[in-house]
Amino acid sequence: MYINAMKFINFCLPKMLICSFCFVALIPCAHADSDEDTPLTKTMTESSKALKSLRKIDRDDWAGGAEAARAAAEGLRKGMEYIPALIKDMADGKDKVKAVADYRRMMGLSYAYLCELEIAYLEEDADKVDAAMSKVKAGKKEGHKKYSDD
């Protein structure tokens, strides 16, 4: 009986280990497909990249700043047609309808803040740029806190 158990272990253990490693390796792929590749995520990534590009340009590059702010606003505008998964997964009812309305309100405000940022760059006014950027950051923080599972 001891010999049969050893044969079983020697035969099955390597196969079980390989299957376990494959299973563990596939878990992140399944998660990435469901969360990372949504249209909303893609548009928000587009907007975020445009905002991050502002860090790399010269502070006096007013045209570049306006272009980046415009690109960020465009990414956000494209994302307005989508609803976050956290809201989609809510049970139908008054709370869900209210959450959708609040999400759209916040997206609209964020779009307006990005337009203010573009205007500040077009006016070449550093104080207005700083004030608009503070609004953009605060809006992004509030939105992600409420409607993202980051």
Per-residue pLDDT of 108-124, as tens digits, reads: 999 999 999 999 999 99
Residues 96/100/105/106 CA torsion (nearest 10 deg): 90
| Mean pLDDT value across residues 1-29 | 50
Please tell me the total count of domains within the chain. 2
Q: Is 119 exposed, middle or buried (0-12, 13-18, 19+ CB in 10 A)?
A: middle
Give residue 62's pLDDT band: very low, low, confident or very high (50, 70, 90). Answer: very high
Same-domain check for residues 66 and 138: yes
Tens-digit pLDDT profile for residues 17-40: 454 444 444 444 444 444 568 888
Cα separation, 57 vs 43, whole angstroms: 22
The pTM for the full model equals 0.70
Same-domain check for residues 33 and 44: no
Q: Is the pLDDT of residue 55 over 50?
A: yes
Tens-digit pLDDT profile for residues 118-150: 999 999 999 999 999 999 988 888 877 776 665
Same-domain check for residues 69 and 1: no
Cα separation, 118 vs 55, whole angstroms: 15
CA atoms within 13 A on the CB side of 108: 6
- Residue 90: Cβ within 10 Å count: 15
| Mean pLDDT value across residues 92-100 | 94
Same-domain check for residues 25 and 68: no
